[in-house]
Structure 1
Amino acid sequence: MITKQRCMLAALAIAASAHAAPASTSNEAATARHLASLVAGSEPKMAELTLFFSQMPKGGDLHHHYSGSIYAEQYVDWVDRQGYCVNKQTYRIETSKDVVAAERARPAAERNCLSTAEILADDYTYRELLQRWSAKDFDNHGAIQPPPDRQFFQTFGYFNAVSNANFNEGLQEIKKRAIEENVGYIETMFKLAPFVANADFDARMRQAASSDAVLTDTMRGWLAALEQDAAFNKSVADYSAKITSAHEGIDDERFTMRYQAYVLRLLSPSQVFSSMVGAFKASTSNPLVVGVNIVGQESQAVSMRDYALHMKMFQFLKTQYPKVKLALHAGELALGDVPPDGLRFHIDHALVVAGADRIGHGLDLAHETNAAAIMKTMRERDIPVEINLTSNAFISGIKGENHPITLYRKYGVPYVISTDDAGVTRHTLAHEYVLFASRYKPSYAEMKKVSYNSIRYSFLDAAAKKRLTRQLDQRFARFEADVAGLARRAR
């Protein structure tokens, strides 16, 4: 009888184990409960959220500016290496060899232009420099300050001289930081594509502004000329080669990086158009360059004046290079930045005219005339928006329930979370996940989907996406097992 009962109990145990959830499913459920406990209530547990998202695998960072992602401290280290010095009155880099030599010849106490070591030895100068070369201390000191958007965009002028050198070391530093915070892929806007000026083209584009047919003919004519311009084509080839050289040693089994060529919307029409041509050419010829973007403060006078024209340039070049992917900064505007008319069409034009494959920022959505149609298009065509919470709050003052992520989420528009310029605004991708979770209280399933979205919506080829997705599966399995174990120990 006892033997029979034991057999029955053993059979029941086997049956129960057959129907029990696999360990991976159980761990995922435990991880979901843990995150829910961290965001519950009126005051999310910020320290624990930081720990959670620092460890959580984050597939990639798709809205990432190379020069704005290097921390100012790194740029200071490069001042001596380039043979430069920093003016301690203006905090700008002096690149003239004659000036630097003259400063080195002066007694140390009389120097106005400092080396890296001298900057680091002078605490006042070093702190002031960091406040100009980044957003450090902007919110916690009482000095007279410029408006935050000016503070942000002016930083690039300070460190630009050293950001244009030491590319491989800079990329290696970004890679190191990414691995440390469990990011497997970065798609960075690397450097400005080459351009040339053409006053005749500028004048003809202004004259033809009201006629799309004439605009197209004008662009077609100069594209043909650029195709035959040996100097321009050499500059494009050199640009592509620089990217390939800088990329050496970046990809490995833990990390992958690709590049977007970009153009600057603050330049003349001929410079913008030729730069677009260079960017499209680089994206077509170099497999490391996976897309094209346009950068520069969107509220600037030239940006606003030429916005529609730039979108038509993209539209034309997409007909010539149909396989090139576009991730466009569009609608990075808040009420009051520009007159109200300027808030009503930027995202729409980027989608409908330029044919963007991803939208960067998309902040002015609620003001756009075709907001409902924009969201419908993005949802149906599976076009994501790149959400940059720290950047949006600092530059534009948009955060919390005022941020259009509330609309994108509500109406089913896909999105990714990214950093923008983490060196300038001094944060990490993990911090962006913390902000998102603490403000909007998503489920773990949503946060996990966001991580996978950053691979799904990357401009990588299908094979690379499959490889990185498999890696992400493995990393999440380990992470969820760790969190489940931690949760058990906390009980």
Structure 2
Amino acid sequence: MKNNIKALALAAAVLCAMPQAHAANANEEATKRHFAALVAPGKEPKLAELTMFFTMMPKGGDLHHHYSGAIYAEQYLEWVDKEGFCVNKTSYTIEKTKPAAGCLSGQDVMNDNTVLANLLQRWSDKDFYNHSGIQSPPDRQFFDTFAYFNPVASTNAVDGIQRLKQRAIQENLSYIETIYEIAPIAQDADFDKKALAGGVSDADFAALSAKLDQDQAYQGWIGAYLKNVETVSAGIDDANFTLRYQPFALRFLAPSQVFAQIASSFKLATSNPKIVGVNIVGQESVNVSMRDYALHMQMFKFLKTKYPSVKLALHAGELSLGMVPPEGLTFHIKDAIEVAGASRIGHGMDIAHESNPLAIMKEMHDKKIAVEVNLSSNDFILGIKDQAHPVTLYRKYGVPYVLSTDDAGVSRNNLSGEYVLYAARYQPDYAEVKKLSYDSIRYSFLADVDKQRLLKALDGKFAKFEAEIAGADAKAKR
């Protein structure tokens, strides 16, 4: 009798759920048809509608996100005033003095449309293709912006993180994994001399690690970094938004400085669960970055052996033909994966030039090593877009990838804009862009419990979104 009652209750529950499931499936099908009409092959993409669609669409995470490059220049000008600094009216650099003749407050800059326009052309990519003034090459324009706002980039971080959270929620973005603040650093002249002579080994890495363990200033900086993360992350995580951090090394510094930064990054990632991975940044094509690339990968390999649970999301292959000699394009992605042990690749632009690219992509497919695709910055810095972009290869050969912003404040863009670019250029179907949203959580470095929480929340958000699109579409057809 009891078994019969249970069976009847189960059957009733299934019957009740059937109409809801049917409605959800109908909404998803309607959303598929609606999206297909926006990117119909052979027709001009409907960009305004795509912008609205992707602003509304739930976007799981932004996994390649530089904190300082994500803050818009207007916010940095607010911080100039908070810190009592000023902006040189001629050079547009920040001076750590009070406003005076020829050095303006941030508010004065904001109030002068001409000065503001000139500043934005230096502090971001704005208007680069819209004016005829003498310009540096696009890659220099991009990387030079950081020197302008760096004097205030590490100030007011609580305000900065809160602003990024508000902006993310506004565009229905649930998670950011931000590359946050330079990792603690130290230098050893003897190590540098040996490294530049090509003679360092694991024994040298171990010896330098031991020295760093005894360096009180260095250890103090690690402690200060941890306190910083605790301060800026207070009250950030909630039902609508989650934030995690990656410390980073600068790849164009002296070898011992890079090793010290990588070593401190690994320690940080094992000291606080909000620090979920480590990274290395900086223009990959400059001389020191190219000269020491293989050495840096050996550093990661040594420390990954020591801290096997730490995840790596390494900038690798952010290069194009002509930026460096051809042989420089042949191994960066491969070494990031096979030597350093990267779990994700940032940019991955030179894959077509790498030695045996099919084998590398098969390995990435098999090991589920995702590529962080940054369409706007790849276009601006490298001049690579449309069918020349290797995302076309990653799509074809089943390499996982996600869409991300890189430096939204510098590019004057957001993640919704990256989805619009992707859809307009490559005409994916709705299932593909929906999968990209989910994959940005699946390939995140979040703890499993947080990952499952965000994936479940994404289910509900997509159900609501698809119901809205289906309803609006039905009304439009009446």
- TM-score (normalised: structure 2): 0.94
- Measure, in 1, the Cα distance between the counterparts of 2:20 and 2:454: 30
**Any idea what SS the aligned residue of 1:59 has?**
strand
Please tell me whether residue 28 in structure 1 is matched to residue 18 in structure 2. no
Q: 1:317 to 1:240 in 2, by over 3 A?
A: same
Distance 1:246 1:291 in 2: 18
Find the aligned partners of 2:176 and 2:413 in 1 and give their Cα distance: 16
Structure 2: runs of 5 or more not aligned:
1-14
Counterpart of 1:271 in structure 2: which amino acid? Q
Q: Which amino acid in structure 2 is aligned with residue 169 of structure 1?
A: D
1:325 matched residue in structure 2: 311
Listed one character per residue, the Cα deviations across residues 274-332 of structure 1 (whole Å, up to 9, x for unaligned) are 01111111111011110000000000110000000000000000011111100000000
For 1:19 and 1:253, the matched residues in 2 are separated by: 28
Instruction: Report how far residue 475 of structure 1 moved.
Output: 0.2
Alignment of 1:242 onto 2:228: yes
Question: Per-residue CA shift, 1:55-90, capped at 9, x if unaligned?
Answer: 000001000000000001111111111110111010
The answer to whether 1:115 aligns with 2:105 is yes
Counterparts of 1:64 and 1:473 in 2: how far apart (Å)? 24
Q: What are the within-5 Å matches in structure 2 for residues 73-88 of structure 1?
A: 73-88=74-89
The one-letter code matched in structure 2 to 1:404 is P
For 1:248, the aligned partner's letter is A
Matches within 5 A, 1:382-393: 382-393=368-379
RMSD: 1.4
Alignment-derived partner of residue 345 in structure 2 = 359
| d(CA) in 2 for partners of 1:225, 1:343 | 35
Separation in 2, partners of 1:420, 1:393: 12
Report what 1:257 is aligned to. 243
- Residue aligning to 2:181: 191
- Rounded to whole Å, the distance in 2 between the matches of 1:292 and 1:18 is 46
Letter in 1 for 2:88: N
- 1:268 partner letter: A
Q: Kindly state the Cα deviation for residue 202 of structure 1 after the two structures are TM-superposed.
A: 0.6
Give distance in 2, aligned partners of 1:333 and 1:276: 22
Q: Describe the SS at the equivalent of 2:270.
A: helix
Give SS of 2:278's match.
strand
Instruction: Compute the displacement of 1:19 (Å).
Output: 9.3
Equivalent in 127, 138, 147 of residue 117 of structure 2:
127
> Is the Cα contact below 8 Å between 1:251 and 1:257 reproduced in 2?
yes
Q: Structure 1: which 5+ residue stretches go unaligned?
A: 1-14, 105-110
The correspondence for 1:291, drawn from 273, 277, 294, is 277
Amino acid in the other structure paired with 2:291 = R
- Whether the 8 Å CA contact 2:283–2:289 is kept in 1: the answer is yes
1:50 aligns with 2:51: yes
Q: Which residue of 1 aligns with 2:68?
A: 67
SS at the partner of 1:294?
A: strand
> 1:29-67: CA deviations, max 9, x gaps?
111111111100331111111111010000010000000
Q: 1:263, 1:343 → 2: CA distance? A: 21
Identify the residue that residue 5 of structure 1 maps to in structure 2.
none
Instruction: Provide the rounded CA distance (Å) in 2 between the counterparts of 1:82 and 1:452.
Output: 40
Contact 2:69 2:407 in 1 (8 A): yes
Structure 2 equivalent of residue 308 of structure 1 = 294
Are 1:477 and 2:463 matched, yes or no? yes
Confirm or deny: 8 A CA contact 2:249 2:262 kept in the other structure. yes
User: Which residue identity does 2:177 align to in structure 1?
Assistant: E
Deviation of 1:226 after TM superposition, in Å, equals 1.2
- 334 and 79 in structure 1: CA distance in 2 versus 1, 3 angstrom threshold: same
3-state SS, counterpart of residue 144 of structure 1: coil
Q: Does 1:169 align with 2:155?
A: no
**Deviations 1:189-212 (CA, angstroms, capped at 9, x unpaired):** 010001111100111223344xxx
Greater Rg, structure 1 or structure 2? Answer: 1
AA at the equivalent of 1:470: K
**Aligned residues of 1:205 and 1:218 also touching (Cα < 8 A):** no
Count of matched residue pairs = 461
Question: Structure 1 vs Structure 2: percent identity of aligned residues?
Answer: 58
| One-letter identity of the residue aligned with 2:349 | L
**Kept after mapping to 2: 8 A contact 1:345/1:370:** no
Give the corresponding residue for 1:142: 132
